[in-house]
């Protein structure tokens, strides 16, 4: 049992295309690429432009919090 040659891989690829079709394979590739892109963006840290955006209709409360008592 040796390694598979390029001819074997082409036959496997042809069978996969026949079973799934090119549209499903293209959609799966696009979804996988989007997932990898989102993962990379998530690992790079929070985006400054997204942190500054507040949802519509949410109140903004400004001020300082004051403590009434000291912890013992």
Q: What is the pLDDT of residues 57-70, one digit of tens each?
A: 667 677 777 777 66
Least confident of 9-13, 36-40, 52-56, 67-71: 52-56
> Highest mean pLDDT: which of 1-15, 20-34, 46-60?
20-34
Q: What pLDDT score does 72 carry? A: 61
Place of tokens 């403590």: 67
Token pair recorded at residue 6 = 């390029």
Token pair recorded at residue 16 = 């996969």
Q: What pLDDT score does 47 carry? A: 57
Determine the length of the chain: 72
Q: What pLDDT score does 54 carry? A: 57
- CA of 36: how far to CAs of 12, 15, 23, 26, 29, in Å? 25, 26, 20, 15, 11
């Amino acid at each position: 049992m040796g390694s598979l040659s390029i001819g074997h891989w082409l036959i496997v690829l042809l069978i996969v295309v026949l079973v799934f079709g090119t549209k499903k394979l293209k959609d799966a590739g696009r979804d996988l690429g989007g997932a990898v892109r989102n993962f990379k963006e998530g690992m790079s840290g929070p985006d400054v432009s997204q942190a500054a955006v507040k949802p519509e209709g949410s109140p903004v409360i400004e001020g300082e919090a004051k403590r009434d008592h000291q912890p013992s």
